[in-house]
Amino acid sequence: MSTLPSTARGRRTRRALLDAAEAEFGESGFDRASIVGITRRAEVSQGTFYTYFPSKDAIFAELVRALSQRLREHLAAAISGIDDRLSAERAGFRAFFEFIGEHRDMYRIVRNAEFVDEALYRWYYDTFAKGYVEGLTAARKDGQIDTSHPETVAWCLMGIADFLGMRWVLWGDGPVPDEVLDAALAFVRTGLAPHPGAS
């Protein structure tokens, strides 16, 4: 369990440690990452580290939770005020790609969680999916989408965003091209069903 600071200075130090941990775990992976490496990057003493976190495991778990919260807040802001669900999906995909473009180590960190703390790994995806299901369920009630199982659709959409981000953000050399986003949203809109009159 990490210690939540009561002062602005303490909150800044804690955030600096989390930012340093993101870089350390992202570059080295959990096993090779060290508290020494984190404190060196944050430019604080090891004693300061232990003021906020009892162990490497603790700061790793807090980092995963913090990244999850920041990503969900970023997505919520991106789709705020958009009433049309398909437009919201496009804005949400674009916001996801932007976020991981700024946090390129996130893929490695989250995947490390599967082996470091499986419950945390599941929490990361389950929490994300819960909000997605709520949005899709509301859109279904409004008649904007037609699905009998919002949870299944939520996990499918999460998978699409995850793999497109891997291909075009993590392994690419720039922003996700508009034509990629267009193709993804066309697939979301029509699935694999052939268009009327298609050969």
Task: CATH number of the domain at 186, please.
Answer: 1.10.357.10
Domain extent, residue 28, equals: 8-190
Residue 75 to residue 119: CA distance in whole angstroms: 24
Asked whether residue 199 carries a pLDDT value surpassing 60, the answer given is: no
pLDDT band at 174 (very low <50, low <70, confident <90, very high): confident
Residue 125 lies in a domain: yes
Residue 199 lies in a domain: no
What is the rounded end-to-end Cα distance, in angstroms, of the chain? 60
Residue 31 lies in a domain: yes
Residue 64 lies in a domain: yes
Residue 2 lies in a domain: no
Residue 197 lies in a domain: no
| pLDDT tens-digit map of 45-89 | 999 999 999 999 999 999 999 999 999 999 999 999 999 999 999
> What is the reported pLDDT for 80?
95
Q: Is 44 helix (H, G, I), strand (E, B) or coil?
A: coil
CB 93 within 8 A of CB 161: yes
Residue 122 lies in a domain: yes
Residue 44 lies in a domain: yes
What is the tally of structural domains in the chain?
1
